[in-house]
Structure 1
Amino acid sequence: MSEKKAYPLRINAEILGAAQRWADDELRSVNAQIEYLLREALRKAGRLPKPRQPTPEDDNT
């Protein structure tokens, strides 16, 4: 799992409220919901790094 970093976020109260309701519907914390939304937006925009492909050396255990 990747390292987590704390980041203060200033956000409009209406947007935060909508994100909180959505998070509640998805049984997530609002923090997890915001991270999910950012990850999905980055993925759709092609901005996430590609996952590392396993190599034959990875199989030498």
Structure 2
Amino acid sequence: MSEKKAYPLRINAAVLEAMQRWADDDLRSLNAQIEYVMREALRKAGRIKPAAKPPAIETDETD
């Protein structure tokens, strides 16, 4: 996991309340929701690479 850095954020109260509601709906903390939204915006803009998908799990299906 990458290093986390603290950063003070000034944000409009209405935007913060909307983010909190969204975080509650997604069962995330407000901090995790803000980070998720920022990461997705960066990915869509081509500013960061998408997260690597974990390798597929092979199953042994015997009949």
Structure-2-length-normalised TM-score: 0.77
Q: As a proportion of its length, which structure holds more helix? A: 1
Query: Which consecutive unaligned segments of at least 5 residues does structure 1 have?
Result: 53-61
Identity %: 75
Task: Indicate the residue corresponding to 2:34 in structure 1.
Answer: 34
Q: Quote how far apart the aligned CAs of 1:25 are.
A: 0.3
Aligned residues: 52
Structure-1-length-normalised TM-score: 0.79
Superposition misfits of 4+ residues, deviation over 4 angstroms: 49-52
Query: Which consecutive unaligned segments of at least 5 residues does structure 2 have?
Result: 53-63
Task: Indicate the residue corresponding to 2:57 in structure 1.
Answer: none
The Cα RMSD (Å) is 1.7
